[in-house]
Every structure is written in C-alpha cells, then in structure tokens.
Structure 1
C-alpha cells in the first residue's frame, strides 16, 4: 500500500503497522536499525602507517559496514577473538556490546581489540541512523580539533619544520639515549643495561651533568620555537624517581606543556612524588585500559596534571570520553595520544569534539605521504593551521580506499580475507557465579 499524500488522520482505523509506516514515511533513515545484525568481522593489516596497524571491518545483514582499528603495533588476533561474541548482535547496542567484550581487553596493546571493535560499532550505529558519531555522544564542543605533532628524529630542526607545516602545538622527542655516550651524563652498570625495563629496575641514573645537558636541549628548543607555541616532551627513558625529579627541575625554566610517562602509570605514589617536587605538568595514560583500570585512581589521587589516553587502548570512543568527563570534574585536562591510520584518527576527532576538557590530539603520521589517501569521504588535507576538521558524515564520516590499502598491506596479508575459523567459541565467559 502506498501512503503518499495521506495524513495520519486519514489513517485512523487502519492497522497499527500501516499507521506507523505512514507516520514515519518522511523520516530519513539509512537502514532499519532495530533489525541490524552483525554477520562478519574481517581485518586488513596496513604496514608502516607509521606503524603496523590492523584495520577492522564489521559487516551486517543490511549491507553497511563499520570500520575500526586495533592499536598500532598490536596483533589483529585481539579483535578476531571477539568475532564469535559479536555475530548476530545488533551493532547499535554499542555500550551493551562493549560491556560484553571488555573483559577480553587489557592494558597496552591488549586493549586494541576491544577498542577497535568499539570504534567500528559506533561507525555502524552512525551509518544506520544517518548521523555523525559525535552527535550520538551528546554533540560537539568544537568543529575543529587542535593537533600536536611529534619530532621523531630528535632534532630541533624538526620542530621548525613542524611550524612551517602549520602546527601550533609541538612535542619534542629527546630521551636519555641522546646523551648515553657523553661521559658523566648517565650512570648505569654496563652497556648491557636493560634500557626497556621498568623504570625503577634499570639502575640507570641521570647525573647533574646529564640533567644540565637536557636543559640545554630545551633552551635551544625555545630559541627556535619561541615562547608562544606549547612544547611538550615525549618520555625520556627508563629512569627512576630521583632522576625524574632532577630532570624536571632542570627543565622548569622552559615552560613545557608536559612531561610524559616519567615512570610506569601504575606507580601512583611515585607519580605523586614527582608531581609534588617539580613545577612542570605531568601526564600519563597511553597504556591504560578503561577508566576504572587506572585513570580513576590517578585522578582521585591527583597524581597527574593531565590524563593522556590512547583511544585505541583505553576502550574506544565512549570510554575515552568517560575518562575525559571524569577528569574534568577534578579540573584535569585531556590531550589524546595517537599513532595509527586515518580510521582511528577520525574516531579521535569525534571523541575530541564531544569532550569539553580536551586539549590536543597527537598526529604521528605527518611525514607519511600516502596516509590521508587510505580513506575517502572527507576533504584533504585533513588539517590546516594545526587544526583538523571534525567529519560531518554519518558514523566516522569516512569510507576506505581499498586500492591504496591494498598497496600498503603488510607482506603476506590479504585484504579483508574470510575469517570463518573465528566464527565459533565454546568458552563460558561469565566472570561470576
């Protein structure tokens, strides 16, 4: 039966299904959301973007797909193991499904599977309802997101290049490895010291000379950058609390935006000790999974000046917003850590747009010339004058450019190959009796 030209009054007495169809005939819908079901989950691993990045595609019975991303450097298996727990579910039930799978994530890269799936669910929900993700998070505070760019070469000239590229917030990579061959700068037992061990256990110490040398580096930074552009530091290396305090005091004159990951995030009391001893903002968080997994304690104990989640570890878009919202109640700001493909980049833009205490989002792929070509649907370049535009399209606002992705697949990988071996799992996942 056709309803064109009929009013709802004219349908009085008609069956209820026909009344509903008439009432909603002009409602814009991209699908039938209540009948949407997940039918498949596949992956495609992109190499050197700038790191190894597994992309997720979740398919549905209505022909729409959602995209997510496992955190850079992680295994795609963290997402594939969730497939059997998602099949036949409605992807629009984002928070319920997140609670169903969250037990299979953990800190660091192990949070990448749950976080990537959560991104893809939001993308699907937005496409189903025809609205951008930020709108489903409560709306946006901003339509442009400030970016900060790193300098992986560790050279001050790299900062100048970033300014020329339009960035107005910088991060300088200048760790203790840059002075390891300077006599008297560091004390450590042997050349075989475990430089990647947990900070309190490496026995590496920064001398007064080493701290002064690091101070000279940042004095040079200010000479090049000036004082109007914020400059943050990347983590310096695996040194203990006393050396962290010594370094923080040496860098106080240069008004850094923050010192990053001075000791592992789980050492709350150590972070508090450092924070209370120096006058430079302290942050951590890129390896923490969920608000309750570590951020809440750091915020409640005021062990940091800012929180620094990586959305692809923290639990995805909504959980990262919850982290920011909780931090906001204590007057704590939230920059975002990121080093992946444009899929995760767009997820970050939506989260940043919807979170009031957001500061800046990391852009780690500035020098990868094909990076923006991995997706379509948004204007390029993604950023101008150090800001990225928040997409207005449904879901994340992008589609994948399969030809470009195929060119940059990790060796031996296929483009969204079938994954039937992950369709069944006979595990009883319940955590309570």
Structure 2
C-alpha cells in the first residue's frame, strides 16, 4: 500500500451497494479525505455489465473483466468486495488479496460467517486488515461498538432484529391482518424482499449476522454451522392475534447467549413483551441489543440495508484503513480466542408458546395436559379462541398454551407427541418467548 497520496481502491461488484459506495466517495470526497488523512478514490472496478446506468459517473475508472485480478493489480491498494455469496469469485478474491498483503473491506455477511475463521488467520498472517462493518445491520456501527467500544467488558447476551425484510412482513401482517403470502408479495413489489426470498424468510441472512456477532461478543472463532435456524414461513395471522391478546409482539430474533458450559446461538420467531425495546422496532428497521457485565444493556437501531446505510459502513472501514487503524478480525489474535463450545438446541432453556388446532370435543385438554405433565413442561396459561362454528368430529378450534421456563428438549418431545394425537389436526406452532 502506498504511504502517500490517495488510497486507491479496486471495487468488485457495482450493484446497489457498490454504486452507493462510488456515489458516497464522490459526494463526500473532501470530508472523507479530511477524516482519513488522504483522499480515497476508486481506480478499478469489476462488474458484470459495463453499459448499465448505475447513477454515478465512473469515467476514468479502469474496468477489469475478472474480479480476481484486482488482488494482484499493482495500482490497487485496497480490495473492496461487494459481490456477495460465500463461495466462488468473492471467496477467491478475498483470499487472494489477503495472501497478496492487501487490506480487504467487504459487506459480504455470508462469506464472513462461513469462512471468517480461515480468512482471519490469513489476515493475521499477512498483517493486513479484513474489515466488514457493512456485513451486519447496514449503517448501524455494531461491529465497531462490540469489538472496540466494548472491548473492556464481558458480554453475556447479544442479538436482536437482524433482518429488515422479516420485520417488515411481520409488522405489516400485524397491522393489516393479512396473511404471510400476501404481505411477502407486497414486500417483493416494494423492493424489500428478493424475487427468491428464501435467504431472508428462512432465517439464513439473520443467522449469518448472528454468527458474526456471537464471534465478536464472545471472542471465539465464527461458527455459522452451530446456529439453530428457523424462519417465518409458518407464522400465521392467528399467531399475531394471539400474541397481541397475550401482551406480546412477534419478531424474528437472532439470540446469542453465554452459559457456563458454552454458547447458545439461534434465529427464530419469538414473542417479546409489548413494552420492551425490541417490540417498538418496526418495519424495515434493524436493532441490536447487547448486555455486558459492566455496561448493562445497550441498543443500536437503524436501517439495516440499502445503498446509503451500507455504503456508509463500507466507507467507515476505508477511513480506518487509510488511517492505518487495524484490530484483529475477531478482537483478539487467533491463539487468544476462546474455545467455548456451541450448545445443542436440546439444552436451551426458556418459556414457550404452543398453538394447536384441535377437535372441539371433551377430553382434548386432558390428553394434552397429560403429555405436558409426562415431559415435565409446566403450563403458565391456556387460551382457547372460542367454540367451533361447526358441529361433529371435524369441528376445530385453536388452542394456545404458554409454558413456564423449561428445557427445549422437553417442549420438543411434548410437541412431537401432541402432534401425533388424533384430536390435533395440524402440526403445532412453537415459538420462544424472550424478554426483549
């Protein structure tokens, strides 16, 4: 990297975020140069289409056909990877750049979550930074807050609302009473959800982010494979109605919690009390909660995606690189990271919401109660949504059970046995309850 003059960037990917970075660097060039101590400019780009109008002037910027060539380009000081995906060109480029001794700035949450442990070792060996503020929660500066701002504290809990698409869908379902499929279609039309929404609505996007946050919070190598992941496809308008009657709101949460025997990491739809901090985070907004032994509870909230917020986070990392500011990828050197194990789902403990659709006939509640008793699941409350409209054996009513704290192994076993009863007409819906 040159010691004087402009910091020269090779940018791979000119989609929404890449174009946003180019726009921000031009719009705020003087301010950024003053804060970075030198100008920051794009000298080379790699993208699929040269002719596409991206709304930013790229005249004078050199185009490269193969993004991987940026790693060896002598005129590029820093590689900015904005392609996305955990495998393929993105991984090849980042690996080659680090091996060539070039700093890397990326917004690629999947890459960092899946390959972050190996890439961190490459970064440490080469003595160059791997920066990824934009990979989690867009413009919310949560990486720096956790890794640097809270470096002196022991963190015991981190998580929150990590996917704006899911938060928008569930907010709109609650406010409108419409079903999942209808609201998802609206989110796609508005550009809040992709044509293939699986990564968002099945919880994968939030799980990538949670794996990164857990590694930073607990000082251990990133472990995406251990995250228990559930999405929101099974959530119905009825669940949102019951949640409101019980004094809760429904959110897709990522939660990482420290226990004496290891780390719990999971992404799942959860009920949170209506008066809690997370309950008030609506629409496409993200929020990250952190609890530390000395700092107590902190919450950071903002837009978790989009060209502007994500570009802001990318440029913040570039300013750090220009200044020569660098910290270990996971907050400590590889040899100093914790070996805390990831806990299996069966060991998790919490309170649960269980919604059943059952035949409206005598003895049903007694059968269900017997199973819960056998599995040592204590019931806190029971709510039945009126009597069935019809008559006969097929008349059905929804039934909601809220439990006291219990081991997840117990509630999973109870759910399996309950679903096998003749009087239960569909797979029960099970949701965690969090303090929020």
Is TM-score (shorter-chain normalized) higher than 0.5?
A: no
Q: TM-score range by the shorter chain?
A: under 0.3
Give the structure-2-normalised TM-score: 0.23
Relative to its length, the structure with more strand (as a share) is 2
- State the structure with bigger RCO (CA 8 A, min sep 6), 1 or 2: 1
Give the structure-1-normalised TM-score: 0.23
